[in-house]
């Protein structure tokens, strides 16, 4: 499993257990993971360092994930980074809301340990960008 191939992912997740699990799974798949517990922290980090992907929990304290995605897309420094939403449960309309906020796709939680890294790679498309 080398889906990540050393690429940098900014992982925005306020739930410590989910953050740890997702970090482990992504690191095992070859990603370099930078954690952020809030959207505010993520916006700051994304503006200061290059990332290949941002995984954005939708439900966050303070600024929510979709608003953070909108702000990332409005900022020329971060607009080019693909953002994938992490949705707590697949509700009708979640995917549409994520796409409308500028996300490339959504990944449903709870995290499926056997498929998570593969699913993350898949949202970036076949050429891995």
Q: For residues 59-78, which are near Mn ion according to CB under 5 A?
A: 59
Q: For residues 40-59, which are near Mn ion according to CB under 5 A?
A: 57, 59
Q: Which residue lies nearer to Mn ion by CB, 7 or 83?
A: 83
Minimum CB–partner distance for residue 126 and Mn ion (Å): 30
Minimum CB–partner distance for residue 15 and Mn ion (Å): 5
| C-alpha span between 93 and 101 (Å, rounded) | 12
Cis ω for the linkage preceding 113 (within 30 of 0): no
Answer yes or no: are the C-beta atoms of 77 and 47 closer than 8 Å. Answer: yes
Minimum CB–partner distance for residue 102 and Mn ion (Å): 19
Q: Which residue lies nearer to Mn ion by CB, 30 or 108?
A: 108
Minimum CB–partner distance for residue 56 and Mn ion (Å): 10
Please state the φ and ψ torsions of residue 40, each to the nearest 5 degrees: -60, -45
Angle at 109 between CA 8 and CA 35, to 5 degrees: 30
Q: Which residue lies nearer to Mn ion by CB, 11 or 26?
A: 11
Angle between helices 39-48 and 65-74 (to 10 degrees): 20
Return the residue nearest Mn ion (CB atom).
59
- Where do contacts with Mn ion occur on this chain (CB under 5 A)? 14, 57, 59
């Amino acid at each position: 499993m080398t889906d990540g191939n050393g690429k940098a992912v900014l992982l925005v997740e306020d739930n410590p257990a989910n953050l740890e699990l997702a970090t482990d799974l992504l690191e095992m798949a070859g990603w370099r993971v930078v954690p952020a517990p809030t959207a505010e922290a993520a916006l700051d980090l994304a503006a200061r360092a290059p990332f290949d992907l941002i995984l954005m929990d939708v439900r966050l304290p303070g600024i929510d994930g979709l608003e953070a995605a909108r702000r990332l897309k409005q900022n020329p420094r971060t607009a080019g980074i693909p953002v994938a939403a992490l949705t707590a449960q697949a509700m009708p309309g979640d995917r549409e809301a994520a796409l409308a906020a500028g996300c490339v796709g959504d990944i449903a939680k709870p995290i499926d340990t056997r498929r998570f890294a593969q699913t993350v790679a898949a949202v970036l498309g076949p050429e891995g960008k």
